[in-house]
Amino acid sequence: MTKENAENKGAEKGSFRSGYIAIVGRPNVGKSTLLNQLLGEKVAIVTPKPQTTRNRITGIRTSPKSQIVFIDTPGIHQAHSLMNRRMVEVALQTLHEVDGVLWLLDSRERIGTEEERIASNLGRLKTPSLILLNKIDLVAKGKLLPLIQRCAELLPAKEIIPISALKGEGVPLVLEIVEKWLPEGPQYFPEGEFTDQTERFVASEIIREKIFLLTHEEIPYGVAVTIDEFTEKEEKNLIVIKATIITERESHKPILIGKRGSMLKEVGQRAREEIEALLGCKIFLELFVKVDRGWTQDPNALTEMGL
C-alpha cells in the first residue's frame, strides 16, 4: 500500500488513529508473550530462557478505529559481547522512534540496576509510557505493593498496571490506554496482516525457538539460523525450506546434530509442524549445521544476521 492510498483510507474512516508502540524491559520478563497476547497471534518466539529475542519484532493490531504497530525489542541488560551490545542498542534506539512505550517488569523480582537504567531512559523521554507489572498470576497481591511503590519513585506520575501477559489479565486496559496515545493517521498495513516480518524470517525464528527449547546451557546463545532456500511450489501446495544452523563452537555441533541425527530431527519436526500451521501448506524442511567460530563477535556476521 502506498502512503497516498493509506492516507486516503485513513481519511475515509474519519478520525482513524495509528502509531508505533515499543515494548521494553529486561530479558525474560515476558515481552514476546505480551506481544502475542496483544495481537491474538503468535509473531514472536517465546522460551523460558532470557535474551531469546534478538531483533525488533513488529506486530500489527488493526481495529475499525485504529492500527497499533507494536515493536517487541531485545531485552535491555548489561551487555558484554558485541552481539548483546547491538541488541541493547536496538532496544534503546527504539524509544526515540515511537508514539508510546510499554515498560514490562517481572512482578516477582526486585528492582535492580538494569531496571533503574531503563527508568532513567524513560524519564528523559516526552513520549507517554506505561509501567506493566507482569506475571501477577504467579505472585501474591500483597507482595506487589513494594514494587509499585518503587516504580512510582523511579517514574512519578506514570500509570502502573498489574497484568498477566500469559493469561491476558489487564491487557484490554492496556490496549484502551495505548489507543488514546495514537495520533490521527492512516492505516499503514492491510487488515489481516499481523507482522511485517517476511515468511523467511519467521521460519528462521521458529527453528531458533526450537533450538532454545531443546538444548541447554550456553548452546542456544551461540546459535543463529539462516535460510538458504525458500521455494514455493504452488502446484503441490508445498514450500521447500533449507536452513543452516550456525554455531560458534566445534563442540556444539555434535550436540545440535545429536546421536544419529536425533536432535536435528526433533528440531526439524517441531519447527516444520509449526511453520505448516502458520503458512497453511506442506513444508519440506532440511536442516544443516555449520561451525563459524566467533560469529557473535564479528561485526560483518552480525550485520548479515540483521543485528
Residue 77 placed within a domain:
yes
Residues 219 and 136 in one domain: no
Question: Are residues 12 and 136 both part of a single domain?
Answer: yes
Last residue of a domain, one of 181, 215, 235: 181
> How much of the chain exceeds pLDDT 90, in percent?
41
Residue pair 100/127 in contact (Cβ under 8 Å)? The answer is: yes
If pLDDT is split at 50, 70 and 90, which confidence band does 74 have?
low
What's the pLDDT at 89?
A: 66
> What is the DSSP-derived secondary structure letter of residue 219?
G
- At 278, the pLDDT band (50, 70, 90 cuts) reads confident
Alpha-carbon distances, residue 285 vs 13, 269, 279, 282, 290 (angstroms) = 43, 8, 13, 10, 16
| 109 occurs within a structural domain | yes
Supply the CATH number for residue 131's domain.
3.40.50.300
Q: What is the DSSP letter of 267?
A: H
The predicted pLDDT at position 164 comes to 96
Task: Tell me if 190 is assigned to some domain.
Answer: no
Domain assignment present for residue 87? The answer is yes
Q: What is the CATH number of the domain that holds 257?
A: 3.30.300.20
At 192-242, the pLDDT tens digits run 888 877 888 889 889 988 998 898 766 667 788 989 999 998 888 899 999
Residue type, position 160, single letter: I
The pLDDT, as a whole number, for residue 220 is 62
In this prediction, residue 48 carries a pLDDT of 54
Spatial contact of 159 and 131, defined as CB atoms under 8 Å apart: yes
User: Does one domain contain both 133 and 277?
Assistant: no
Same domain, 144 and 21: yes
Please, is 169 exposed, middle or buried when counting C-beta atoms within 10 Å of its C-beta (0-12, 13-18, 19+)?
middle
149 and 20 both lie in a single domain? yes
What per-residue confidence (pLDDT) applies to 90?
Answer: 63
In angstroms, what CA-CA distances link 120 with 16, 40, 91, 123? 33, 32, 14, 5
Computed over every residue of the chain, the mean pLDDT equals: 82
Task: Give a yes or no: residue 191 inside a domain.
Answer: no
What is the C-alpha separation between 76 and 286, in angstroms, rounded? 34
Given 181, 209, 225, the domain boundary residue is 181
pLDDT score at 113: 87
- In this structure, of 13-17, 250-254, 271-275, 298-302, the range with the lowest mean pLDDT score is 298-302
Q: Are 73 and 24 in contact (CB under 8 A)?
A: yes
Residue pLDDT, tens place only, 41-51:
777 656 554 44
Q: What ranges make up the beta strands (E) of 73-206?
A: 100-106, 129-134, 160-162
Question: Are residues 115 and 214 located together in one domain of the fold?
Answer: no
pLDDT at 293 over 50: yes
Give the HSE-up count for residue 61: Cα atoms under 13 Å, Cβ half-sphere.
21
Scan for cell 534478538, then name that residue. 54
The length of the chain in residues reads 307
* CB 46, CB 175: distance < 8 Å: no
Q: For 128-140, what is each residue's pLDDT tens digit?
A: 999 999 999 999 8
pLDDT score for 10:
42
Q: Within a 10 A sphere around the Cβ of 306, how many other Cβ atoms? A: 13
pLDDT at 238: 92
Confidence (pLDDT) at 215: 83
Give the per-residue pLDDT at 85. 58
- CA dist 236 and 214 (Å) reads 31
pLDDT in the model for residue 201: 85
The alpha carbons of the chain give a radius of gyration, in whole angstroms, of: 20
pLDDT at 96 over 50: yes
Report the pLDDT averaged over residues 64-88: 67
Please calculate the CA angle 265-266-271 and round it to the nearest 5 degrees: 100
Task: Give me the mean pLDDT over the 275-300 stretch.
Answer: 84
Asked if 199 and 276 touch (Cβ cutoff 8 Å), the reply is no
Element housing 57 (H / E): strand 57-62
Among 49, 75, 73, CA closest to 59: 73
**11 and 156 both lie in a single domain:** yes
Residue 62 lies in a domain: yes
Which tens digits make up the pLDDT trace of 162-182? 999 999 999 999 999 999 999
Tell me, yes or no, whether 65 and 97 share the same domain.
yes
- Residue 267: domain span: 199-304
**pLDDT > 70: percent of the chain:** 79
> Given this model, what pLDDT does residue 32 score?
85
Would you state the pLDDT for residue 76? Answer: 54
Domain count, the chain: 2
Instruction: Tell me what the mean pLDDT of segment 244-263 comes to.
Output: 91
Strand order across the beta sheet in which 66-72 lies: 57-62, 66-72, 17-24, 100-106, 129-134, 160-162
pLDDT digits (tens, 9 = 90+) for 2-49: 434 444 444 444 589 999 998 888 878 888 899 989 998 777 656 554
Cα separation, 123 vs 88, in Å, equals: 18
Are 212 and 169 in the same domain?
Answer: no
Residue 208 located in a structural domain:
yes
Specify whether 259 is located in the same domain as 170.
Answer: no
Q: Is residue 55 part of a domain?
A: yes
- Show which of 122, 147, 181 is a domain's final residue: 181
Residues 7 and 73 placed together within one structural domain of the fold = yes
pTM for the model: 0.67
209 shares its domain with 143: no
Distance CA 47, CA 49 (A): 5
Dist. CA 204–CA 274, nearest whole Å: 12
